Amino acid sequence: MTDNDEFQWLEDIYGERQLEWVAEQNERTEAMLAGPMFESMQSDILEVLDGAGRIPMPAKRGDYYYNFWRDEANPRGLWRRTTPESYRQDEPDWEILLDVDELCRAEDAEWVFAGAQLRYPDYDRALIRLSPDGGDAVALREFDVPTRQFVPGGFDVPAAKTHASWIDADTLFIASDFGPGTMTTSSYPRQARRWRRGQALGDAEIVIEVPVDQLTAGAAHDHTPGFERDFVYGARDFYTSRTYLLGDSGSAHIEVPDDASIDVHREWLVVRPRSAWDVGGRRYPAGSLLAVDFDDFMAGSRDLTVLFTPDAQTSLQGWAWTRHYLMLTLLHDVSSRVEVLSPDDGWSRAELADAPDLSTITVSGVDDEETDDYWMIVTGFLTPSTLHLGTVGGSAPALKSAPDFFDASDMSVEQHFATSKDGTRVPYFQVSPAGAAGGPVLLSGYGGFENSRVPAYSGTIGRAWLSRGGVYVSANIRGGGEYGPEWHHAALRENRPRAYEDFAAVADDLVARGVTTPERLGCEGRSNGGLLVGNMLTTYPQLFGAISCGVPLLDMKRYTKLSAGTSWIAEYGDPDVPEDWEFIRGFSPYHNLHAGTDYPPTLFYTVTSDDRVGPVQARKMAARMQALGVPNVWVYENREGGHGGGSDNKQMAHYLAASYTFLFDTLNGSTQAAR
C-alpha cells in the first residue's frame, strides 16, 4: 500500500504529454484486440444499436409523441414527433424537427443531443440541450418548433452544467455557471435564477443559493392548471436536500426529512423517507410511501396516509401518476409487481400486473393532466421488450415489440442466492445457453447509489456473449436498491466492503455450484461498478480470470478533487477527514496494489470528455500497475462520449466490443492478454 502518487501528472486531462501517453496505450490495446473476434463483436453490437426494429420510446406533449432516434444513417440522431394515431402503425409517419447530423455539418461541430424541454401549454418552443463532446456540460438554445429553427436572440447559454425549465412564454428558471463563485466544489450550479427574455443572464434574479460545499441548487415550475406552483431546492449531497414552495412573500420549507424524496401532484404530497421518520406520534419506516394533502401539510397537518410499507423481501422501486390514479412499482426478491391506488376512493388499491417469472415491469403515465392512460414495458433477460398502452381499469394491449436480436430458444434464466461473509443472502441471476458448461462466465454488478439491477433484455449481451456460448450473471449486491434504502445503507461509507464481500460471495457460489472455475470467470462494472471490480482486482484477484473496468473510480484518496467527485462524499466518505480516510483506504484500489501479486488480466476503458468521473483514475491505475511490472494491463480511452462511453452508436459498439472481446478471448486463453 502506498499514498505516494507518482502518476498524479496524468490528471491533466488534455495535456500534450498526457494525451501522448493515452495515444500510446490506445495503439497498444487496439493491437491486442485486433482480429476477427473484435470485428465480429463490433459488427454484431452495432447491428443491435442501429436496429430499425427497436421500440421508439415516446414522450407525449400536447397532441404529439416525441422521440429521439439514432441509426446507421443518422449517427448523431433525429429529434422527431408523430401523432398518437400514427404511432400505433408499424411504420409511424415521423416529422423531423432537428437533424443533429445536419446541425453538426452546418456548424462544423460534434454536437451530442442531450434532450429538449418543450414550452407549456402550446409546446411551440423548446430548450434544446446540446453537449459539445457527450459530457454532462451542455449548451442551451431556444428552438422554434413550427419553423424548426433556433430562435435568433432567444434564450442561449454556452456549455455548462445547466438545468432550466419554463415558467411562462418569456421566463425561465435556470441553474448554471453564472461566473466566478457560482459553481459548487462538486462542479454543479450553486444558484438558481429567474431569467426573463431580453435580460442579461448575469442580471437574472437569484431565487436560491447554496453554500459552495453543497451539491447544487435548482428550481422548477409546476404548470398543472389550478395547481400552479414554484419550487426551489438546495441539495446538500446525493441523498439530502431541502425543497421550498416559492411565493410572493418568500419561500416556505416543505418540512419532510432531508433524506426524503417528495412528489407534489395536484393536491397531493407524496413522501418516501430514506430513514425512519418520527412525526405526528407515529414512526414510518425507511422506504415507505406516505401521502397527505399538500395544502394541509403546509398548514401544519401531519395526518399521513401510508401507501406502502416495505418488508424483508419487498421494496418500492418507483411510482407514477395518471390523471386520477397512482401506480406503484414494487420488487419482491427482484421480481416486479405493479399496484394501482385511487386517492379519490380512500387510496383503495388493485393489482395492475405481475411480471412473468424473472422479468421486469415498468409503468409511467402518458399524460397525468388529462387521461388515465399509461405506458407499460415488460422485459426479461431472454424476452425482448414489449411496450403496452393501457388505461387504468381497462386492458393494456401490446403496442410495439422489440425484435429478437439473438436465438434464445436453448437458453435459460435462473435466480440463485449466495451467502455473504456476514450471512446475508444475496440474490443473483444466471443466464445460460444450453451446453455452456465449461465456457466463459461473465459476472456483472454495480452496488451503489440505491440503483437496482433488474432483469432486462439486452441484444448486445445476447449477441456478444450468450450467442457465443458464454454465461452471463447479474448480481444484486448491497449498495443497490433491490431491497430498498436499508439494502443501500448496508454498504455506505465504512460499510462499503459489504458490497465487495457480496460480489465475491456470488463468484464463490458460481464455482461451488460447478458453473465455472476462477480461470474461466470474468467480471465487469462501470462507474461505481468500476470501483467494485477494481476492488475485485486488488482484494480478490484469485477469484477471476479477467476484469473489465469501465469509466471507474479507483483513486479514492483524490476522488473528491477530480471532476464531480465531491458530490459522492455521502456515498463513500471524505478522504480529507482522517477518520474517513482510515476506512476509505481499505477500498481504494489505487492504494491497494502490491508488487509481486498475481493480478488477473485487466482492461480499463474510459473517456477523455467524461466530466463526471473523468478519465484520470483509469489512467493512473493502469500506469501504476504497469510500473509495478504487472503483465496484461490494458487501457482504451475514447475521446468523446462523456460518462456514457460514446457519442454515437459506432463509438458505443467499439468500446463494448473491446470489453467483450477482451473478456471472451482472455477467459478462453486465446489472446496475448491471457495468462
Distance CA 162, CA 529 (A): 26
The separation between CA 543 and the C-alpha centre of its own chain, rounded to angstroms, equals 28
- Active-site residue (options: 336, 420, 452, 527): 527
How far apart, in Å, do the first and last CA atoms of the chain sit? 24
For residue 137, give the 3-state DSSP assignment: coil
| Distance separating alpha carbons of residues 631 and 666, to the nearest angstrom | 13
How far is C-alpha 464 from the chain's CA centre? Answer: 22
Exposed (0-12), middle (13-18) or buried (19+): which is 146, by Cβ within 10 Å? exposed
Q: What are phi and psi of 450, to 5 degrees?
A: 60, 25
Q: What is the DSSP letter of 179?
A: S
Q: How far is CA 409 from CA 49, 222, 369, 450, 462, in A?
A: 22, 48, 43, 33, 12
Residues contacting 564, CB < 8 A, separation 6+: 136, 186, 187, 188, 611, 612, 613
User: What's the rounded Cα separation, in Å, for the pair 2 and 324?
Assistant: 59
Bridge partners, 548 (sequence order): 524, 603
Among the listed residues 230, 222, 238, the one whose alpha carbon sits nearest the alpha carbon of residue 205 = 230
CB-based contact 524:658 (threshold 8 Å): no
Q: What is the largest CA-CA distance in the chain?
A: 71
Q: Which residues touch 200 (CB under 8 Å, ≥6 apart)? A: none
* Spatial distance between the Cα atoms of 100 and 139, rounded to a whole number of angstroms: 14
Identify the three-state secondary structure at position 520: helix
Beta-strand pair 602-607/633-638: parallel
Taking the C-alpha atoms of residue 334 and residue 337, their distance in angstroms, rounded to an integer, is 10
CB-based burial, 441-472: b 16+ in 10 Å, e otherwise: bbbbbbbbbbbbbbbbbbbbbbbbbbbbbbbb
CB 289 within 8 A of CB 319: yes
Task: With CA atoms as reference, report the closest residue to 418 among 438, 451, 445, 436.
Answer: 445
Q: Give every CB contact of residue 22 below 8 A, 6+ residues apart in sequence.
A: 608, 615, 619, 635, 637
- Pick the catalytic residue from 548, 643, 647, 654: 643
359 is catalytic: no
Give backbone dihedrals phi and psi of 201, rounded to 5 degrees, phi first. -55, -40
294 close to 267: Cβ distance less than 8 angstroms:
yes
Amino acid at 550: G
Please say if 643 is a catalytic residue.
Answer: yes
* Positions marked active-site: 527, 643
